[in-house]
Chains A and B, each alone.
Chain A
């Protein structure tokens, strides 16, 4: 897949010169790329014992603060432009973040440490995409906004445990059409940059609240 995308990138500039950015309607567009899925705190808490007094004063054995760390991601999406401005798309984003638990303030002076575990994370989602007016450059550079929701599936290492949750996102980006044409199997191709906020709920979570993750990605799209 990677080899095919790079080949397309190399070929595309030769095809695009002087062609207008006609955005095809009711055509399938496939998009593949990679980026960074940002980290977020999962929660902090102490490992407490019961103190030896009738007043309920806990005794802290150590402190633990956990976050899901930033990680590279890859994604694959497919979409359809319903009108010149509005489209729908769905896809999957995979990343392998680490759960990182920072341990400190041990009552018996155990050395502070960050305990980690990698997680395979898949987000399956669907979005509404609204294309805005072009930004010049022959209308080939087009901003868009997108929002939607889906499902997050997180597999602990060794697949010992699978956790599920919901994923919501909102964001936007830019698409740059390298070429469009009205015939042939490949009707268009271009580059796309996305920035979004992913709100995860459930899954690996130590607190019952949504966790915002920033995510950025770049990709190549091909229209058929």
Chain B
């Protein structure tokens, strides 16, 4: 018998923190189980209402483009199918994945969110719904609208969650006077804080997103053609939890990142092009740590951003030499 759970995560915030690739997991008997779709194509519905300035058919077209962006990743194998319009609401526990606008004027910093119905034994995603906050100004204009958020860009982010990707910390922010954070730049569509109004950059996936989705849904050659960096981040000899680890390929200019995910400070980053990489570690201080980890995890953020003194060489298939990065306190 299946055990199912409704998990609501992955809020794309308007002025809160964000990061690089991370897969959603659930824990059973102490084992971490990655959440992913096991049956494709993933079938999706669109709620039959629009919002101010965006009709239901404009909305559906923007969603279709967002799904197509993920479907086109050459090293991943995932497919989607639009089924039709529906009167059902996102987040109804009905077995149908519904995307649509909902009015949430109280969520004044939330552009959208994704929820899941999962099999907690196998990690299979059974249903995933996405709502877009109709209280926000939206645009589907091809070149963007300086007065509105680009619906397609936000949809690409939310569909990343629908696939099982968490937030990425590959980005830089600065504090805002109202207590939130403003994005200065990001290296991943899956960064938890959206670009500003009128910015359409997130219609296009970045290398970190490609690595993340390919690691989750690899096509036949992905594992053979790319390498994995594994290692550990330590401070005074002890593991650091929640450190953000970035691999930079000087040849391609690509940035792919991951996190230390346990108290031993272990990390792994897959999907690296063969060749030398610079390894850089920084604390998770550009976003709210809860965008990435649960509140009970004691994230260590009081250390200096640090480059590893050795270049890491990703092989073509398999793992390179293990890396240990020692960081120093701030």
A residues in contact with B206, CB < 8 Å: 50
| Contact in complex: B305, A161 (CB < 8 Å) | no
Is B28 interfacial (CB 8 A cutoff)? no
Q: Which chain B residue lies CB-closest to A98?
A: B311
B279 CB to nearest chain A CB (Å): 8
18 CB < 8 A contacts A-B:
A42-B250, A53-B196, A54-B201, A56-B201, A59-B172, A64-B278, A103-B280, A103-B307, A106-B305, A106-B307, A110-B305, A115-B307, A117-B313, A157-B321, A158-B321, A161-B274, A161-B315, A205-B251
Q: A5 to B255, alpha carbons, bound, how many Å?
A: 50
Is A137 interfacial (CB 8 A cutoff)? no
Q: A51 to B184, alpha carbons, bound, how many Å?
A: 6
Is B183 interfacial (CB 8 A cutoff)? yes
B residues in contact with A158, CB < 8 Å: 313, 320-321
B residues in contact with A205, CB < 8 Å: 251
A115 CB to nearest chain B CB (Å): 5
Task: From known contacts A59-B185, A64-B278, A113-B307, infer whether A52 and B250 are also in contact, taking CB-CB under 8 Å.
Answer: no
Is A99 interfacial (CB 8 A cutoff)? yes
A105 CB to nearest chain B CB (Å): 12
| Contact in complex: A53, B274 (CB < 8 Å) | no
| Contact in complex: A101, B184 (CB < 8 Å) | no
| Contact in complex: A50, B282 (CB < 8 Å) | no
| Contact in complex: B304, A110 (CB < 8 Å) | yes
Is A160 interfacial (CB 8 A cutoff)? yes
Is B224 interfacial (CB 8 A cutoff)? no
A residues in contact with B282, CB < 8 Å: 108, 110
| Contact in complex: A53, B199 (CB < 8 Å) | yes
A residues in contact with B255, CB < 8 Å: 47, 49, 61
Is B157 interfacial (CB 8 A cutoff)? no
Interface centre among A43, A49, A107, A205 (most CB of B within 10 A): A49
Is A183 interfacial (CB 8 A cutoff)? no
B148 CB to nearest chain A CB (Å): 12
Q: A161 to B316, alpha carbons, bound, how many Å?
A: 7
Q: A224 to B186, alpha carbons, bound, how many Å?
A: 67
B residues in contact with A157, CB < 8 Å: 313, 321
Is B171 interfacial (CB 8 A cutoff)? yes
Is A213 interfacial (CB 8 A cutoff)? no
- Which residues from chain A sit less than 8 Å from chain B, CB to CB? 42-43, 45-54, 56, 58-59, 61-62, 64, 66, 99, 101, 103, 106-111, 113-117, 156-158, 160-161, 163, 204-206
Is B306 interfacial (CB 8 A cutoff)? yes
Q: Which chain A residue lies CB-closest to B199?
A: A54
Q: A51 to B280, alpha carbons, bound, how many Å?
A: 20
Size category of the binding interface on chain B: 35 or more
B residues in contact with A107, CB < 8 Å: 172
Q: Of A61, A64, A106, A161, which contacts B250 at CB under 8 A? A: A64
| Contact in complex: B311, A115 (CB < 8 Å) | yes
A residues in contact with B200, CB < 8 Å: 54
Q: A163 to B313, alpha carbons, bound, how many Å?
A: 12
Which 7 A-B pairs rank lowest in CB-CB distance, beginning with the nearest? Answer: A59-B185, A49-B185, A110-B305, A117-B311, A156-B313, A206-B251, A49-B187
A62 CB to nearest chain B CB (Å): 7
Task: From known contacts A115-B311, A116-B310, A157-B321, infer whether A206 and B185 are also in contact, taking CB-CB under 8 Å.
Answer: no
| Contact in complex: B309, A45 (CB < 8 Å) | no
| Contact in complex: A47, B278 (CB < 8 Å) | yes
Known: A50-B187, A114-B309, A160-B321. 11 other contacts (CB 8 A): A49-B185, A51-B184, A54-B199, A61-B255, A62-B307, A66-B250, A109-B305, A110-B280, A160-B313, A161-B313, A206-B251
A residues in contact with B198, CB < 8 Å: 54
| Contact in complex: A110, B307 (CB < 8 Å) | yes
Q: A111 to B307, alpha carbons, bound, how many Å?
A: 8
Q: A107 to B184, alpha carbons, bound, how many Å?
A: 11
B272 CB to nearest chain A CB (Å): 11
Q: A163 to B316, alpha carbons, bound, how many Å?
A: 11
| Contact in complex: A101, B316 (CB < 8 Å) | no
Is B45 interfacial (CB 8 A cutoff)? no
| Contact in complex: A115, B310 (CB < 8 Å) | yes
Q: A156 to B250, alpha carbons, bound, how many Å?
A: 15
Interface centre among A45, A56, A109 (most CB of B within 10 A): A45
A26 CB to nearest chain B CB (Å): 46
Q: A156 to B311, alpha carbons, bound, how many Å?
A: 10
Task: From known contacts A110-B307, A115-B307, A161-B315, infer whether A101 and B250 are also in contact, taking CB-CB under 8 Å.
Answer: yes
Task: From known contacts A43-B251, A47-B253, A54-B199, infer whether A111 and B186 are also in contact, taking CB-CB under 8 Å.
Answer: no
| Contact in complex: B186, A50 (CB < 8 Å) | yes
